[in-house]
């Protein structure tokens, strides 16, 4: 199999897929205007021309495409990680890259649906209210007995993220509930409309991914994109509210 020459557009897609950072070491893959310099290389996950040893090593492993040159079987890596992977391939490293690429493919597929899932513009009022909270005096904590997070969480939601969601619900639930009540005063049934839009996008995520951590991140990213990047942290808090109050993670 001959190496395919990837177009500049395909390289940009691979660069964007990893958010401009090597997915193995985190090194920044520099971008200059509309072009990407040689800080990254297109790496084949399953080898382009596997050696006899590699064929035996990976014979029972999952392959992301029958075509080794397919975009599903390549990933942007920094030169050091690319060289290390090609020269010292192990089953564990192969599985790691397969896992990373599958997560990236899933995230890209979800991002490509953003334009199909809108959210009411008034949610920006709630985001701005959250972002402008200046002290604990504006907040009233929710009773721990009222929390539903433990009932909804499964093994795919790491403890550290579950605790963050729980803390966000405890701290901000009453504030957000009041904010949505005010929205409904100005526009009848606005909260239910927003809640149904969040649930619709959550259901879309479920079609391709059941991992709660990744779904939570997708919900936050969607809301942040749809609202013009007012505050990613405020988006996290609002999604935590919907985990508690609606059918997200149900």
Render each residue's pLDDT in the chain as its tens digit; 250 residues.
Answer: 678 899 999 999 999 999 999 999 998 787 665 665 668 899 999 999 999 999 999 999 999 999 999 999 999 999 999 999 999 899 999 999 999 999 999 999 999 999 999 999 999 999 999 988 887 777 777 765 657 788 888 999 999 999 999 999 999 999 999 999 999 998 889 999 999 999 999 999 998 888 999 999 999 999 999 999 999 999 999 999 999 877 766 6
149 neighbors 243 (Cβ within 8 angstroms): yes
Q: Give the C-alpha separation, 123 to 210, whole Å.
A: 26
Q: Which tokens belong to 162?
A: 């579950």
User: pTM above the 0.75 mark?
Assistant: yes
Taking phi first (over 0 means left), then psi (-120 to 50 degrees means alpha), and beta for anything else, what does residue 46 get?
Answer: beta
Q: Which tokens belong to 56?
A: 């035996």
Q: Give the C-alpha separation, 130 to 231, whole Å.
A: 9
Q: Give the C-alpha separation, 239 to 132, whole Å.
A: 18
Q: Give the C-alpha separation, 242 to 141, whole Å.
A: 16
């Amino acid at each position: 199999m001959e190496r395919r020459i990837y177009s500049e557009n395909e390289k940009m897609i691979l660069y964007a897929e990893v958010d401009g950072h090597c997915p193995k070491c985190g090194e920044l893959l520099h971008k200059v205007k509309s072009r990407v310099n040689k800080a990254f290389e297109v790496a084949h996950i399953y080898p382009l021309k596997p050696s006899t040893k590699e064929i035996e090593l990976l014979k029972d492993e999952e392959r992301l495409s029958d075509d080794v040159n397919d975009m599903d079987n390549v990933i942007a890596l920094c030169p050091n990680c690319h060289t290390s992977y090609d020269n010292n391939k192990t089953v564990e490293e192969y599985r790691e890259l397969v896992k990373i690429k599958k997560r990236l493919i899933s995230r890209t597929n979800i991002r490509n649906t953003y334009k199909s899932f809108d959210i009411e513009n008034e949610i920006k009022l709630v985001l701005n209210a959250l972002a402008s909270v200046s002290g604990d005096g504006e907040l009233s904590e929710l009773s721990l007995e009222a929390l539903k997070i433990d009932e909804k969480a499964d093994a795919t939601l790491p403890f550290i993220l579950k605790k963050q969601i729980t803390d966000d619900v405890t701290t901000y639930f009453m504030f957000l509930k009041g904010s949505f009540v005010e929205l409904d005063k100005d526009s009848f049934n606005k909260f239910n409309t927003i809640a149904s839009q969040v649930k619709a996008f959550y259901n879309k995520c479920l079609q391709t991914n059941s991992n709660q951590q990744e779904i939570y991140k997708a919900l936050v990213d969607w809301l942040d994109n749809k609202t013009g990047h007012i505050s990613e942290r405020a988006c996290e808090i609002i999604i935590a509210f919907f985990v508690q109050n609606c059918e997200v993670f149900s």
